[in-house]
Structure formats: C-alpha cells, structure tokens
Amino acid sequence: MVLSSQLVALLAGVGLALGLSSAPTAAGTEERAGPAMTTAPAGPPGSAGSTASGWVWPLTPTPTIMRPFDPPLRRWEPGHRGVDLLGSVGVQVRAPASGQVVFASKLAGRGVVVVRHEGGLRSTFEPVAARVELGTTVTKGQAIGLVTDGPSHCAPQTCLHWGVLRGREYLDPLAFLGRAPTVLLPLG
C-alpha cells in the first residue's frame, strides 16, 4: 500500500516530534519493533481517580471509549495506535502521569501535546489546545490543554485521541490504567 504524501508528511512530523530516529515511508519499509504491551507497569497508587498503576485518565469523569487500541501487524499498515475518548470542546486534558512536555504545537493542522514519562514512555494527545509550554514539567493529573474541535474518528462527536509509545512501539493506553484488554474467544 502506498501512503499519500500528506499522510507520510504527517507521520514523519509526528516521528520527529516524538524523537523517533525514523518514521514510516511511502514505500513502507519499516518493520514492527515487537509485540504491544498488554499489562500495566507497576507503580504505587496515586491520587483520587488514579489506578493501580498510578496513572490517571486524561479526561474526567471517566470517559466513554469510542474506539479502542487496534495496532497494525506492521508499522505502515492501517490500525488504531491509541484510544479515542469521548469528550467535548473545552474539556481539560490532564497528564496521565508525571513527566515533561516534549511537544506542544500544531501538527498537520491539529493541536498536539506530547508528554515524556519515566521508563521511556510518551503520551500523545490530539486535538488539543496546549496550556503548557515545551519543556514544562507536569505532575500526574495536571491540566495540559483543552480538547478542541477538529478532524476526529468520532465525527460528528468530539473525541480526544490518546496514544502511548515506548521507543517506536505503540502501546495500549488502557493497559496503563490497569485495564486488561478484552479477548474474545470462539465458542466451541
């Protein structure tokens, strides 16, 4: 499958913003780095609204999951590299764990905020109007921006897309909230 030049530019920009050494190419030459993480990292429970891993939901109250994590088999193939959480324009987006803001700007016409956490993890959020500056240290639960309107997987509703990466591998954000993925098995 050949990616459009606009999509390649978007993915390359995201890769650079996230500190990746490379990004998918139109020729689709990269391979997947390894299996996605399916369990939450260990950590002490945090403040109200936190989970066993210590991470918190980026939206409050606990949002409806409109589209779950659905990673592709190979990096360049279609998939959903995060979760879409039902929100509304102007709702605060919170850092799910403490960290440092490593990107807070528009990318391909959408507001994007990226927070780097311990253990080489990065949370990505869009569409968001940043309320923090590049380099800001944030604490778990601290407001980092506001949900904005814009292109969404949830149209006509408004969603916040939340992604988590370790290195170049996309992980299921819900795993960091202590939610094990649901696995459906065939009957019989």
**pTM for the whole thing?**
0.68
All domains of the chain, ordered by start, with CATH?
A: 43-177 (2.70.70.10)
pLDDT tens digits along 54-88: 899 999 999 998 888 877 777 776 667 889 999 99
| pLDDT at residue number 26 | 32
Sequence-distant (6+) residues with CB within 8 A of 61 are none
Query: Rounded to an integer, what distance in angstroms lies between the CA atom of residue 133 and that of residue 170?
Result: 24
| pLDDT at residue number 97 | 97
Low-confidence ranges of the chain (pLDDT < 70): 1-53, 77-79, 179-188
